[in-house]
Amino acid sequence: MTIDLTGRVAVVTGAGGGLGREHALLLARRGAKVVVNDVGGSVGGTGASTAAADAVVAEIRAAGGEAIANASSVTDFAAVQAMIDQTRVQWGKVDILVNNAGILRDKTFSKMSLEDFRSVIDVHLMGSVHCTKAVWDHMKAQSYGRIVMTTSSSGLYGNFGQANYGAAKLALVGLMQTLALEGAKYNIRVNCIAPSAGTRMLDGLMSEGLLRLLPAAAVSPGVLALVSDDAPSRTILCAGGGSYEQAHITLTQGIYAGVDEHAAERVAESWQAIGDRAGEEIPSAGIAQSQLELQKSKNAVTHPSP
């Protein structure tokens, strides 16, 4: 099996360096025409320059590929829409969107300003919303789309000093879950990548030796698989150092505690039973929780405890 993207058009945000650069280079090597989007700012989101995006475009073209640069901020929906319009004028369509742009403003929650919280949400979450919204109806009309959201272990599992980042990253999982359902009949597949990579976002957090074991290029094959014709949908793919795993949000079978005045005490006495993972499931949609609870409620009425 060979993943061939010849004829496909891809937009990769935050592609001027780090993970996004590696994603763009790999998609181009596999035949895709690539829009290299990068505002050219710092890790904290300040400043702007076209140099980073231009450099990646030059690399792709030097290797015989096709690419154009775009320095729009993903926080500006009008600019994002113009980028997608420009892409469609240039190449006629957009098949693939990799939402990779991001910033960091780490602080403990007590020291974090609301501005720092909103800025991270605006880039990671709303930036992905803007880009996805700009391509969504087009992908529906052509009955084809592959969209990747970049989540993080910080969102899936938490990380000290990253309340803003973690909140944005887990929100992207929720966005992916619903869009995958809504896009299914249009052959739009939506997934998440949770990368571990030695990019500038990890500077100072790990030793140089450890960072060398997590090259950004080792994540990009996972992205390539997620944008292929045979890609899954609603997958949270974790990737780092050549290893790949899946993360899942599951639902345990839990207990029925009733609705009387002692229900809270039964819950407090039953944490172990509620959290028992035997028989847990991966719900196909949010309604699965209510369906499970209704069934347990019906069972309790039909077969009351002595």
- Pinpoint the alpha helices (H) of the chain: 18-29, 51-62, 77-91, 114-121, 127-142, 153-157, 163-183, 208-212, 220-226, 263-268, 271-274, 287-302
Instruction: Verify that 135 and 205 share a domain, yes or no.
Output: yes
The first and second tokens of residue 152, run together, are: 């993080």
DSSP conformational letter for 197: -
The first and second tokens of residue 238, run together, are: 């974790």
Instruction: Verify that 126 and 20 share a domain, yes or no.
Output: yes
- The answer to whether residue 232 sits within a structural domain is yes
Question: How confident is the model at residue 209, as a pLDDT?
Answer: 73
Contact 198, 240 (CB under 8 A): no
The first and second tokens of residue 192, run together, are: 């998440």
Instruction: Verify that 209 and 124 share a domain, yes or no.
Output: yes
- The answer to whether residue 255 sits within a structural domain is no
- The answer to whether residue 2 sits within a structural domain is no
6 CB neighbour count, 10 Å cutoff: 8
Q: Is 260 exposed, middle or buried (0-12, 13-18, 19+ CB in 10 A)?
A: exposed
Instruction: Verify that 103 and 43 share a domain, yes or no.
Output: yes
What is the C-alpha separation between 138 and 244, in angstroms, rounded?
31
**Whole-model pTM over 0.85:** yes
- The answer to whether residue 241 sits within a structural domain is yes
Instruction: Verify that 61 and 130 share a domain, yes or no.
Output: yes
- The answer to whether residue 134 sits within a structural domain is yes
Instruction: Verify that 227 and 268 share a domain, yes or no.
Output: no
- The answer to whether residue 118 sits within a structural domain is yes
Domain of residue 275 covers: 263-302
Instruction: Verify that 49 and 92 share a domain, yes or no.
Output: yes
Question: How confident is the model at residue 262, as a pLDDT?
Answer: 97
Closest CA to 11 of 136, 185, 104: 136
Instruction: Verify that 102 and 156 share a domain, yes or no.
Output: yes
- The answer to whether residue 256 sits within a structural domain is no
What is the C-alpha separation between 197 and 199, in angstroms, rounded?
6
Instruction: Verify that 132 and 235 share a domain, yes or no.
Output: yes
From the list 144, 165, 244, 256, the catalytic residue is: 165
Question: How confident is the model at residue 206, as a pLDDT?
Answer: 59
Instruction: Verify that 181 and 278 share a domain, yes or no.
Output: no
Residue 144 among the catalytic residues:
no
Instruction: Verify that 124 and 267 share a domain, yes or no.
Output: no
Q: Note down pLDDT in tens along the chain; length 306 residues.
A: 899 999 999 999 999 999 999 999 999 999 999 999 999 754 544 545 688 999 999 999 999 999 999 999 999 999 999 999 999 999 999 999 999 999 999 999 999 999 999 999 999 999 999 999 999 999 999 999 999 999 999 999 999 999 999 999 999 999 999 999 999 999 999 999 999 986 555 555 556 777 788 899 999 999 999 999 999 999 999 999 999 999 999 999 999 999 999 999 999 999 999 999 999 999 999 999 999 999 999 998 777 665
- The answer to whether residue 258 sits within a structural domain is no
- Number of domains into which the chain is organized: 2
3-state secondary structure of 97: strand
Instruction: Verify that 88 and 44 share a domain, yes or no.
Output: yes
Question: How confident is the model at residue 49, as a pLDDT?
Answer: 67
What is the C-alpha separation between 248 and 275, in angstroms, rounded?
15
| CATH number, domain containing residue 40 | 3.40.50.720
Contact 227, 148 (CB under 8 A): yes
